Amino acid sequence: MALERGIPNFLHWLLGSPTSSLLVPASWGFLFGTVAICLLLFLIVPFVCFVILSLQYGPSEAFYYVARSIFTAVTEDLPRFSSRRTFAVARLAVQEAIRNKILVGFGIFLLLLLIAGMFLDTGSRDPVYNPARVYLSFVLTATNYLVLLMALLLSAFSLPNDVKNRTIYTVVTKPIRASEIVLGRTLGFAAVGTAMLLAMGIISYFFVTWSLSHDHAIDAASVNDETGRNGSLVRRYGETTIDQHHRHTFEVDANGKGRTNTIRGHWHEVVRTEDGKYRVGPPQGHLIARAPIYGQLIIFDRDGKQGKGINVGNEWEYRGYIEGGTPGVQTKAHAVWTFSGITADRYKNGLPLELNLRVFRTFKGEIERGVLGELVIRNPNPDAPVKRSGPIVFESKEFVADRRLIPVELNSEIGGAAGAGKVDLFKDLVDGGQVQVELRCVEPAQYFGVAEPDIYLRPGDAPFELNFAKAYLSIWLQMLLVTGFGVTFSTFLSGPVALMASISAIVLGFFGQFVRDIATGTAYGGGPIESFIRIITQQNVMTDMEINKILLTIIKGCDGILMHLLQAATYILPDYTQFDTTEFVASGYNIFGSLVGQQLVMAAVYFTAVSIAGYFFLKTREIAA
Amino acid sequence: MSRNASFARKVAYIAAIALLLLPIAAISQPATLNPGRAEHFAGGKLSQLRAQHNLAQAELGEIDPASETMKLSTLGLRGVAANILWGWANYYKKIEDWDKLEMTVNQIIRLQPNFVEVWDFQAHNLSYNVSVEFDDYRMRYQWVKKGIDFLILGSHYNRDEPGILRQVGWFVGQKIGRADEHMQFRRLFRDDKDFHQTFRDNGIEVDNGLGPDRKPDNWLVSKLWYEKAVNAHVAYGKPIRGTTPLLFYSGAPISIMNSAAAMNKDGYFFENAVLAWQQAKDSWLRYGERELPTSVGFNIRLNEKEPVDQRIKDAKEELARLCPSAEEEIRQDKLNRLSAEKKAVMQTPAAERSSEQYALAYEAEQELKVLPRDFLGRAQRPEDRPRVRHIVDQIEQDETTSRQLEINRRIVNFEYWRMRADSELTDEAPQAHSDEYEGNKLAASGENLAKARSLYEAAWKLYAVIFEKYPELMDNAEAQDVIDSISHYRDVLGQLDEPFPADFPLWTLMDKHYKGQQIRDQVKLLQGRDATEQKKPEDTKKDDKPAETKPDAN
């Protein structure tokens, strides 16, 4: 799984990098950025309100109005906030949601699951193809979109409908505060969404496990025996029957126990019973949650200098490539990962490495064999008496996770704690809990492609069910945000307009990077006016616009203003892509704790901010108008 | 407005709606199923038009509920949805997310199942572009198969579409048989029982395409797909799409040729290969007999070039007989009519002409050409003039035909393959290939290099005989394999510490290929110039002549 944003570090994300600069907002860190934006809004928003009210009531009246709003919020509404009233409103919101036939959304979800088989084409014969990924992507994406849509519709129309139907008077005439109305509605709709999400999650889990379950039998005609020199049986091997568009090869030992190979992300246990029959177990290994321990990568070029690696012509620059050749003679190119937290207690049997390399050949070479590489375990301390182990040569594999256990006792030219010609991993090569893994390609004119997450330690896996639940937590946080924004917009906008505003917030949240690329000119095509003209005149995005130069200047100017406003909005609105953890679950990787922490903090901050904004909007609104 | 007026208006609207329903119903009535049976109803006008132009889904191919549902659910924005999916497909290909690429491509074709170019493009994308992203040849093979599977699926949605069927044949033949990993791919294909079953399920009996090892051969199976494509065109009248009839019909015979050639590379000679080459030759002759349209409006048969050329030759001889010395007179007339400038250029030696003079000289040569039409009115006897006219018309027609035959033959390398099949059926060819193959094996293993050398040398002698009979074979790229073997032979000689023979019988072949020239240069460098000088027969005879004896003084 590619981590294009890099491996998340919660403190780094929260507080910014040590080298952050005040002049580069992107490096500030979420905390500083939030404080800065809040301060800015705290200054700008009251000022804007003051200006608008001044036009209506005059400056002194406007000042009084704004000051009173802020004062009463702090001195009256906040200390007298009642959770009892809030939950009462929440209960009403739940009843309203059920009355509005919210369960239709749940029905649509069930219908989608029922007919999913028609659309999810998992008939691929590719042995590396993983249907679990297809099903998991489908259920998570379908749930995500449905829940967000439901939250949107519920939250955007609730208050405006109450105002239109005048039922709001039955609420506001009671001793209830605006904050309790806003929070109550939000929590009520969130509770409905939570219940539906819970139900969808459980059904999705069983749908996925049921869809992936299958069994094979053993193709008796394919079974062969392998005997040793003394004629005794060593193993039996053969093929299974086809089920779900695939078959496995298998082998069992002399005791009749064995397993199949891994096809489509899973394998089966095979047992030969005493009566000579074979029993194939259920699929295993396809619903996993790897919990990788990542290291820090440094790439060195052919002269031994640090760099980004070579680009072999790929448009996607996620990976840098290191050149192959005799180490130190033909090339000094190599990649080094530094791992921390390495202790003998934690890694009793050695370092369980997993490699996900890419290979680039400049000539075919040995077609029947993978390109050879070597791993060297190094001591990070340059003054250590034993600096490195001997090379561990391996044959590269692409697009599969290549598991290699680095043993505790390694070969070495000079020898170490383990004796002559041997070194001990923990005693000789681990320094301060750190160890380095060096990767080289040994075949000249061939290359290995590497990125930081490509080599990691895999001491164990997290429970898949927990990972699945974390993905649903991410969806729940999104739902919470959408509900909050919907309710907030509905406090001062009509239903349809609030819906449009909420949708805009979601779209900007999902496509924020695209908007920023357009605004900064990284992406071609220009802003909204220019791209509209290009569409209707069928001009492509790469050529200059074929219109009058003055008009072009005006268009580009207007687009510039619009795009920069949108760009500013993308920094203020939540980035929904940060909440997307579908790929983690589908690819079988544990969702990082740091990522969950980021999502929780972001959701809490945005939820608080929109709730406060909603409170002020509702408070200052004239309901009877 | 009054209630009566409002009521009357409502009645009028309802009546108009009811009246309009009649023609709408007539136009849009659906057809009933089971066409051909007595109770089949062709439906309204729209339904009849759909059937007439083969636009109805049932006529086009399978009705896929998923595809129809997806098309309906886009609510008229099918084009937008397809556009977005194409963008996603390109994105997934960029980030090497092959599972999602495959899923997205499957969604695209559900939205555009009858847009045949989509099947072509994406199948090619999977088999040619995505497959090469993998390092492991087994993975590459899987993705080549994916593209083929994709096309086969496309043939369900577009029943009897010759273009798609032909593409399947191309992928099975060329992609598996000509890739860099062709040896590995062919081996995997032979043992891929599940894939063979897929072909059987789609009407291709792979047991009719078995190789010498009694397993399906990819070339022979591709031939079956080509034949299915031809059948779709001939029997069902489906138009040939995306290629000319010349190339369309050449697929099957070329596959047989390639199959026979591949047999030699796989180590099969003598009976198996000879039989294969005989079948290839017969199929090529049949292809040559097929009537093919040309771009100039008439049909040709590739086999008929020789008779046509002979006819032209005979006609010209008769023309010369009927109009003796007319040719010289015509040429002289044309020369006299040339401008002074052009005359002067024609008299300038070619090596001394400037570029403008070359152009003028070319124009002059064209003007000086004696055309058949020039003979009109030059018959020696007046009663021969109608005959001369007839001959001139015939020559002109035949020359046009001959030109088209030449062009079309060159496109499919017709003469080469015919000559190749003939050469492979000589007595020398199987033994030559066998000796070369065994020599390569011994050279690669390093065992018994002396035997390798003697096998090679026996092969070269036999190849020399073949190339003497069929010298044009030396020019073709297929002869490169022999050059490669000569390279191994040179290495064997090197290991045996023996010089490259000066009387090597294939110097001419080597001079025609870059690698051969390189080998020759290397030998010249190491052994001296004489090592590469092939002695001419006249030189040998000169040397063998006895010394002249002095005449007696008496």
Taking only the tens place, the pLDDT of each residue in A343-384 is 999 998 899 999 999 999 999 888 899 999 999 999 999 999
Cα separations in angstroms, A485 against A149, A490, A491, B250, B405: 13, 8, 10, 66, 75
* Residues present in chain B in total: 554
A503/A149 Cα distance (integer angstroms): 9
Helical (H) or strand (E) element with B380: none
- pLDDT confidence of residue B60: 66
**CB atoms closer than 10 angstroms to residue B548:** 6
What percentage of chain B carries pLDDT values higher than 70? 91
| Closest chain A C-alpha to B134 CA, distance in angstroms | 7
The answer on pLDDT for B545 being more than 60 is no
The answer on pLDDT for B482 being more than 90 is yes
- For B515, the token pair is 């690698």
The answer to whether B151 and B171 have CB atoms below 8 angstroms apart is yes
The answer on pLDDT for B186 being more than 80 is yes
Of residues B548 and B480, the one with the higher pLDDT is: B480
List the alpha helices (DSSP H) in A166-267. Answer: 168-172, 178-212
B227/A111 Cα distance (integer angstroms): 44
B380/B45 Cα distance (integer angstroms): 70
| Closest chain B C-alpha to A594 CA, distance in angstroms | 25
Most confident of B75-89, B95-109, B245-259, B358-372: B245-259
Segment A278-305 shows an average pLDDT of 91
Q: For B26-77, how does the pLDDT look when each residue is reduced to its tens digit (9 = 90+)?
A: 888 777 655 444 455 677 888 888 777 767 665 566 667 667 777 777 778 8
The answer on pLDDT for B538 being more than 70 is no
Residue with tokens 């687009």: A559
The answer on pLDDT for B405 being more than 80 is yes
Look at A364 and B180 and tell me if their CB atoms are within 8 Å: yes
| Closest chain A C-alpha to B95 CA, distance in angstroms | 6
| Closest chain B C-alpha to A416 CA, distance in angstroms | 38
Pick among A120, A125, A249, A369 to test the B interface (most B CBs inside 10 A): A125
Q: For A333-344, how does the pLDDT look when each residue is reduced to its tens digit (9 = 90+)?
A: 999 999 999 999
Of residues B408 and A243, the one with the higher pLDDT is: B408
Helical (H) or strand (E) element with A261: none
Pick among B102, B103, B140, B197 to test the A interface (most A CBs inside 10 A): B103
At position A430, the amino acid (one-letter code) is V
Lowest-confidence range among A81-85, A306-310, A589-593, B54-58?
A: B54-58
B200/B208 Cα distance (integer angstroms): 11
- pLDDT confidence of residue B540: 44
CA angle A491, A496, A502 (to 5 degrees): 65
In three-state secondary structure terms, A298 is strand
- pLDDT confidence of residue A516: 87
Q: Assign A625 a pLDDT band (cuts: 50, 70, 90).
A: very low
Look at A399 and B139 and tell me if their CB atoms are within 8 Å: yes
Contacts of B142 in chain A (CB under 8 A): 125-128
- For A460, the token pair is 């164990």
- B181 → closest Cβ in A242, A367, A397: A367
CA angle A454, A456, A461 (to 5 degrees): 120
Residue with tokens 């309906």: B72
Of residues B531 and A201, the one with the higher pLDDT is: A201
Pick among B84, B102, B135, B150 to test the A interface (most A CBs inside 10 A): B135
Residue contacts between A and B (CB atoms, under 8 Å) = 69
The answer to whether A388 and A438 have CB atoms below 8 angstroms apart is yes
B195/B149 Cα distance (integer angstroms): 9
- For B543, the token pair is 């040397």
pTM to 2 decimal places? 0.82
The answer to whether B155 and B161 have CB atoms below 8 angstroms apart is yes
Burial class (CB in 10 A: 0-12, 13-18, 19+), A240: buried
User: What would the DSSP string read from start to end of A403-464?
Assistant: EEEE-SEEE-SS-BTTBTTEEEIIIII-BTTBEEEEEEE-STTEEEEE-GGGEEE-S-EE-H
Pick among B62, B71, B91, B96 to test the A interface (most A CBs inside 10 A): B96
- pLDDT confidence of residue B210: 94
- pLDDT confidence of residue B544: 43
> Could you report the predicted ipTM of this complex, rounded to two decimals?
0.84
Q: Assign A69 a pLDDT band (cuts: 50, 70, 90).
A: confident
Cα–Cα nearest to B247, from B290, B278, B209, B192:
B290
φ/ψ of residue B293, rounded to 5: -75, 150
Segment B299-317 shows an average pLDDT of 94
Contacts of A371 in chain B (CB under 8 A): 135
Which residues does residue B138 pair with via DSSP β-bridges, in sequence order? none
**CB atoms closer than 10 angstroms to residue A59:** 12
**Chain A residues contacting B, CB < 8 Å?**
2, 115, 118-121, 124-130, 133-134, 137, 242, 247, 315-316, 318, 358-359, 361, 364, 367-368, 370-371, 396-399
Helical (H) or strand (E) element with A297: strand A296-300
Look at A318 and B95 and tell me if their CB atoms are within 8 Å: yes
Look at A398 and B135 and tell me if their CB atoms are within 8 Å: yes
The answer on pLDDT for A474 being more than 80 is yes
Q: Assign B449 a pLDDT band (cuts: 50, 70, 90).
A: very high
| Closest chain B C-alpha to A168 CA, distance in angstroms | 37
B134 at A interface, C-beta within 8 A: yes
Contacts of B134 in chain A (CB under 8 A): 398-399
The answer to whether B196 and B152 have CB atoms below 8 angstroms apart is no
* Residues present in chain A in total: 625
Look at B99 and A133 and tell me if their CB atoms are within 8 Å: yes
Across chain A, which distance is largest between two alpha carbons, in Å? 106
The answer on pLDDT for B277 being more than 80 is yes
The answer on pLDDT for B145 being more than 90 is yes
As a whole number, the mean pLDDT across chain A is: 87
Contacts of A261 in chain B (CB under 8 A): none
- pLDDT confidence of residue B377: 82
Q: For A483-523, how does the pLDDT look when each residue is reduced to its tens digit (9 = 90+)?
A: 999 999 998 888 899 999 999 999 998 888 888 888 888 88
Could you give the dihedral angle defined by the CA atoms of residues B325, B330, B336 and B337, in that order, rounded to the nearest 10 degrees? 170
As a whole number, the mean pLDDT across chain B is: 87
Look at B139 and A134 and tell me if their CB atoms are within 8 Å: no
In three-state secondary structure terms, A288 is coil
Segment A26-36 shows an average pLDDT of 80
Look at A129 and B99 and tell me if their CB atoms are within 8 Å: yes
Contacts of A121 in chain B (CB under 8 A): 103, 106
The answer on pLDDT for A623 being more than 70 is no
Cα–Cα nearest to B387, from B477, B306, B323, B460:
B323
Lowest-confidence range among A425-429, B54-58, B239-243?
A: B54-58
Cα–Cα nearest to A486, from A3, A158, A55, A101:
A158
Minimal-distance CA residue of chain A relative to B138:
A368
The answer on pLDDT for A304 being more than 50 is yes
The answer on pLDDT for B543 being more than 70 is no
Lowest-confidence range among A52-66, A448-462, B124-138, B296-310?
A: A52-66
Q: Work out whether strand A306-307 and strand A351-355 pair parallel, antiparallel, or are unpaired.
A: unpaired
- pLDDT confidence of residue A526: 84
Return the exposure string of B518-545: e unless at least 16 CB atoms fall within 10 Å of the residue's CB, then b.
Answer: ebbeebeeeeeeebbeeeeeeeeeeeee
The answer on pLDDT for A401 being more than 70 is yes
Helical (H) or strand (E) element with A544: none
Lowest-confidence range among A521-530, A575-584, B129-138, B181-190?
A: A521-530
- pLDDT confidence of residue B302: 95
φ/ψ of residue A435, rounded to 5: -145, 155
The answer to whether A309 and A450 have CB atoms below 8 angstroms apart is yes
